[in-house]
Amino acid sequence: MTSGEKGQVGISREVVMAIAGIAVSEIAGIANLRSGDPVFRRGEGLRRHVETEVEGEEVKVTVRITAVYGHPIRPLAVQVQRRVKMEIERMTGLRVSAVDVEVQHLVRGEEPAPEEIG
């Protein structure tokens, strides 16, 4: 929570998670969780893929992704880190201390992500 002109300004973890999810969803090479869905959905689905820790003016983010085969994984993860950091800092004014990226699955092009199979 930060001091505003006349009071406090607080930004919830859920807002920071949503910003991170939207930032990741705009990166080519990240697989959709379900066919036709955006990469990260609101609510419980988002919590499985994005975690945030907000302490004062600092944020730490963990993002779990499914990569699309053919996209080099390390550069993809670095792109996720940069994009998430940039968007959270731009939108909130908070400082992002770390963005950890866990590549949990690899799928081919339009193949459904493992969460959809079952």
> What would the mean pLDDT of 64-75 be, rounded to a whole number?
94
Identify whether 117 is part of a domain.
no
Question: CB–CB of 39/31 below 8 Å?
Answer: yes
CA gap 10, 40 in Å, rounded: 23
Q: Is residue 114 part of a domain?
A: no
In a domain, 73, yes or no: yes
Whether 112 maps to a domain, the answer reads no
Is residue 55's pLDDT more than 80? yes
Quick check: 77 and 59 in contact, CB under 8 A? no
Residue 22's domain is classified under what CATH number? 3.30.70.1350
- 64 and 106 in contact (C-beta within 8 Å)? no
Q: Is residue 57 part of a domain?
A: yes
Answer yes or no: is 116 within a domain: no
Per the structure, the complete domain to which residue 16 belongs is given by: 2-107
Considering its fold, how many domains does the chain have in total? 1
Angle at which helix 73-92 crosses helix 13-25, to 10 degrees, equals: 140
- Each residue's pLDDT tens digit, 82-113: 999 999 999 999 999 999 999 999 998 765 55
- Residue 113 located in a structural domain: no
- 58 within some domain: yes
Handedness of CA 13, 19, 25, 28 (dihedral sign): negative
Query: Reduced to 3 states, what is the DSSP secondary structure of residue 112?
Result: coil
pLDDT > 70: percent of the chain: 75
